[in-house]
């Protein structure tokens, strides 16, 4: 019994991390039809920058802000300077963003080295909590809470604010949205930066659990892809439930069949693809 | 006619060049040929049928692992191993095609990547069978079952040259055939081809499997070339390398990807000699190609020449 509760909590906390990545991927795709392969770079870059800042200043809050800000700046540059210059077509965009994935990965290896490193946990969440007979690290509960708060905030933002209404209008039909006076271009840059920032947040709160190392960018990107394949590209709901599902599958796969862990994720993905090629909540 | 002469000259050069090269340079050329075949196979679906894939390494790696595992564990016989490698690649392509071709565009990219990653995950995780991250070293060059051992570098080069030439000729025939024309039609407008009565799915599927088989052949050659196979052969980096070779050389031309392969392998070799930051350079190549040469090196050259000639004609016109 405790094994299952423990694994479920682990899976949910990992699922929330994946949600942070998939939400950004999905928002960017929804508005701009860009499949951003550099999303994994944002994850490791956010964690690495935070790591350096925390070593210098000792403040985790400052480190988180710096990590997110640095990655958002990179996102703005990528969107404004590079992605706008290539045709709106999936292949050039994929090649360009893959180039950035390689560049950021190699620069990170250069600057921060090849050994896996972990971010420190906040003091308040460094201990374990006792839930009945179960002893559980409180930091994982913190990660679950962050994911849930971000999820609710995103949903409120999209459904109940003026900005959200503009966003939905621009996703439905950018041309019409533009004629009604919505600055779709600025909105696109904002969404790109915001999505990048969410991935950086994922890297920073995931850093104490999973560590950050060369190759983590590819690993997390792939899992985020599986989430949006299952949930549906462009759907926030899909990112949330897809994230939970993949988080749980990954965790149980690793616990039960360590040699074939990836299989427990990909077999359900293939099944869903066979039934619904655009994912559970995908539009087209 | 000019093309035929150029092709004949290229053939003569490729046949005679081992006389002029060191064994190291010949190895480099062999690698270029193998990746040319890999990139050309991707070009059949990308350049002709308009189907992008980020998982083409799946068939390359599947061929390589099949040959490697059989050669180390079962038999050294070249024919059974090479044949099994091709069959394995074909089976994987036939299976992945069923799933992937239900989708388009960005989904197709993601799904081909995710499917290839399944194989990568197995190769990486199933340590007792595949050697895991360390891969399988010590795979010998083919000799059993053949009249001559191919252990020697020059002989192996000619073997790769013959296989690549045959595969290229086969690709050329496919592309020129009504089937190849239909693929181009699907790339330009799938809807129109459907209206004309083509079963477009079947065309795309057959092209997908042919591309997988040829990628498998390239993988077979590469495992013999390196004597080693590791999960990297199945990785997104290999898949994306084939993509950039196709784009750099020119998608939708039979020999363009071979040019792309030669350029990338050459650069990798030269740059790796000076710095450890090859991936940084490779990433920059991706960015530069998408920004400045989206239609490949030949397209870039054509545009530069066109610009130079129009400028010159403007200069000539001005004094009058």
The interface predicted TM-score (ipTM) is 0.88
User: What pLDDT, on a 0 to 100 scale, did the predictor assign at position B280?
Assistant: 92
Task: Check pLDDT > 80 for residue A273.
Answer: no
Q: How would you class A142 by CB atoms within 10 Å of its CB: exposed for 0-12, middle for 13-18, buried for 19 or more?
A: middle
Question: Is A229 within 8 Å of B111 when comparing Cβ atoms?
Answer: yes
pLDDT > 70: what percent of chain A?
A: 98
Mean predicted lDDT score pLDDT of chain A:
88
Question: Is B110 within 8 Å of A225 when comparing Cβ atoms?
Answer: yes
Best A103, A105, A114, A218 residue to mutate vs chain B (most B CBs within 10 Å): A103
- Closest by CA to B256, choosing from B11, B47, B51, B12, is B47
For residues B219 and B38, give the distance between their C-alpha atoms in angstroms, rounded to a whole number: 8
Q: Confidence class of residue B320 from pLDDT cuts 50, 70 and 90?
A: very low
User: What pLDDT, on a 0 to 100 scale, did the predictor assign at position A1?
Assistant: 64
Of A110, A266, A277, the CB nearest to B107: A277
The whole-number average pLDDT for the span B260-282 is 91
The whole-number average pLDDT for the span B170-186 is 90
Interface of B with A in 189-248 (CB under 8 A): 236-237, 240, 243-244, 247
The whole-number average pLDDT for the span B167-179 is 91
DSSP string for residues in B272-297 = HHH-S-HHHHHHHHHHHHHHH-TTHH
Task: Check pLDDT > 80 for residue A55.
Answer: yes
Task: Check pLDDT > 60 for residue A284.
Answer: no
B114, B243, B248 from B109: Cα distances, Å: 9, 11, 19
Mean predicted lDDT score pLDDT of chain B:
87
User: What pLDDT, on a 0 to 100 scale, did the predictor assign at position A235?
Assistant: 84
Question: Is A102 within 8 Å of B113 when comparing Cβ atoms?
Answer: no
Q: Which residues from A are below 8 Å from B296, CB to CB? A: none
User: What pLDDT, on a 0 to 100 scale, did the predictor assign at position B212?
Assistant: 95
- Closest by CA to B125, choosing from A8, A265, A268, is A265
User: What pLDDT, on a 0 to 100 scale, did the predictor assign at position B315?
Assistant: 61
User: What pLDDT, on a 0 to 100 scale, did the predictor assign at position B77?
Assistant: 82
B68-74: long-range pairs with CB below 8 Å, 24+: B68/B136, B68/B139, B68/B223, B68/B228, B68/B229, B69/B129, B69/B130, B69/B136, B71/B139, B71/B140, B72/B136, B72/B138, B72/B139
Virtual CA dihedral for A247, A251, A252, A257, nearest 10 degrees? Answer: 130
Task: Check pLDDT > 50 for residue B237.
Answer: yes
For residues A51 and A43, give the distance between their C-alpha atoms in angstroms, rounded to a whole number: 13
Task: Check pLDDT > 90 for residue A66.
Answer: yes
Q: Which residues from A are below 8 Å from B119, CB to CB? A: none
User: What pLDDT, on a 0 to 100 scale, did the predictor assign at position B80?
Assistant: 86
Nearest residue of chain A to residue B51 (CA atoms): A91
- Using DSSP's 3-state secondary structure scheme, residue A122 falls into coil
Nearest residue of chain B to residue A274 (CA atoms): B99
Task: Check pLDDT > 50 for residue B72.
Answer: yes
> Any idea which of B51-60, B155-164, B209-218, B246-255 has the lowest mean pLDDT?
B246-255
pTM of structure: 0.89
* Torsion sign over Cα B202, B207, B208, B212: positive
Task: Check pLDDT > 60 for residue B84.
Answer: yes
Q: Confidence class of residue A283 from pLDDT cuts 50, 70 and 90?
A: low
User: What pLDDT, on a 0 to 100 scale, did the predictor assign at position A31?
Assistant: 85
User: What pLDDT, on a 0 to 100 scale, did the predictor assign at position B99?
Assistant: 87
The whole-number average pLDDT for the span B169-175 is 91
> Any idea which of A109-118, B11-20, B204-213 has the lowest mean pLDDT?
B11-20
User: What pLDDT, on a 0 to 100 scale, did the predictor assign at position A147?
Assistant: 92
Task: Check pLDDT > 80 for residue B179.
Answer: yes
The whole-number average pLDDT for the span A13-20 is 93
Task: Check pLDDT > 80 for residue A133.
Answer: no
Q: Please enumerate residues of A whose Cβ is less than 8 A from a Cβ of B.
A: 29, 33, 35, 82, 85-87, 90-92, 94-96, 98-107, 110, 218, 222, 225-226, 228-229, 233, 258-263, 266, 269-270, 273-274, 277-278
User: What pLDDT, on a 0 to 100 scale, did the predictor assign at position A152?
Assistant: 93
Of B113, B126, B284, the CB nearest to A259: B126
Task: Check pLDDT > 90 for residue B7.
Answer: no
User: What pLDDT, on a 0 to 100 scale, did the predictor assign at position A275?
Assistant: 80
Q: Which residues from B are below 8 Å from A218, CB to CB? A: 236
């Amino acid at each position: 019994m405790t094994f299952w509760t423990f694994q479920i909590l682990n899976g949910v906390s990992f699922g929330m991390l994946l949600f942070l990545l998939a939400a950004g991927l999905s928002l960017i795709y929804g508005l701009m039809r860009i499949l951003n392969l550099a999303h994994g770079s944002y994850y490791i870059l956010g964690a690495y920058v935070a790591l350096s800042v925390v070593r210098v200043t000792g403040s985790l809050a400052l480190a988180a802000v710096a990590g997110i800000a640095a990655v958002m700046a990179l996102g703005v540059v990528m969107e404004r300077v590079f992605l706008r210059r290539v045709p709106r077509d999936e292949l050039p965009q994929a090649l360009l963003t893959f180039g950035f994935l390689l560049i950021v990965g190699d620069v990170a290896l250069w600057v921060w080295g090849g050994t896996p490193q972990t971010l420190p946990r906040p003091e308040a969440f460094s201990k374990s909590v006792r839930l009945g007979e179960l002893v559980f690290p409180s930091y994982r509960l913190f990660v679950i809470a962050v994911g849930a708060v971000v999820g609710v905030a995103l949903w409120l933002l999209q459904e109940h604010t003026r900005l959200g209404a503009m966003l939905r209008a621009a996703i439905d039909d950018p041309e019409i949205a533009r004629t009604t006076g919505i600055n779709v271009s600025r909105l696109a840059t904002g969404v790109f930066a915001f999505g990048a920032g969410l991935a950086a947040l994922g890297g920073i709160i995931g850093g104490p659990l999973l560590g950050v190392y060369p190759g983590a960018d590819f690993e997390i990107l792939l899992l985020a892809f599986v989430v949006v394949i299952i949930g549906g590209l462009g759907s926030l709901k899909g990112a949330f439930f897809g994230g939970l599902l993949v988080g749980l599958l990954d965790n149980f796969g690793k616990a039960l069949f360590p040699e074939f862990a990836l299989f427990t994720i990909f077999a359900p993905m293939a099944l869903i693809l066979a039934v619904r090629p655009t994912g559970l909540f995908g539009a087209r | 006619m000019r093309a035929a002469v150029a092709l004949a000259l290229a053939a003569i050069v490729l046949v005679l060049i081992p006389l002029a090269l060191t064994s190291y340079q010949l190895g480099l050329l062999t690698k270029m040929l193998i990746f040319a075949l890999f990139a050309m196979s991707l070009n059949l679906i990308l350049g002709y049928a308009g189907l992008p894939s980020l998982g083409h390494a799946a068939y390359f790696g599947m061929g390589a692992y099949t040959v490697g595992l059989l050669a180390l564990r079962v038999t050294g016989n070249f024919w059974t191993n090479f044949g099994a490698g091709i069959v394995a690649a074909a089976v994987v392509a036939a299976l992945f095609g069923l799933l992937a071709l239900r989708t388009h565009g960005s989904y197709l990219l993601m799904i081909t990547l995710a499917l290839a990653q399944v194989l990568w995950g197995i190769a990486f995780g199933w340590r007792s069978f595949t050697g895991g991250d360390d891969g399988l070293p010590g795979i010998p060059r083919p000799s059993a079952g053949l009249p001559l051992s191919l252990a020697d570098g020059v002989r192996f080069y000619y073997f790769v040259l013959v296989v690549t030439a045959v595969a290229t000729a086969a690709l050329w025939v496919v592309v020129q055939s009504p089937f190849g024309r239909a693929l181009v039609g699907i790339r330009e407008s799938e809807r129109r081809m459907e209206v004309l009565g083509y079963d477009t799915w079947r065309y795309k599927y057959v092209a997908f499997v042919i591309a997988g088989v040829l990628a498998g052949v390239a993988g077979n050659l590469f495992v013999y070339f390196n004597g080693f196979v590791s999960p990297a052969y199945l990785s997104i980096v290999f898949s994306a390398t084939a993509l950039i070779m196709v784009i750099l050389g020119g998608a939708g031309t039979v020999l363009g990807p071979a040019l792309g392969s030669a350029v990338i392998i050459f650069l990798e070799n030269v740059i790796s000699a000076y710095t450890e930051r090859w991936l940084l350079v490779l990433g920059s190549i991706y960015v530069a190609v998408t920004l400045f040469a989206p239609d490949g090196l030949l397209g870039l050259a054509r545009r530069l020449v066109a610009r130079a000639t129009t400028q010159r004609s403007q200069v000539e016109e001005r004094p009058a």
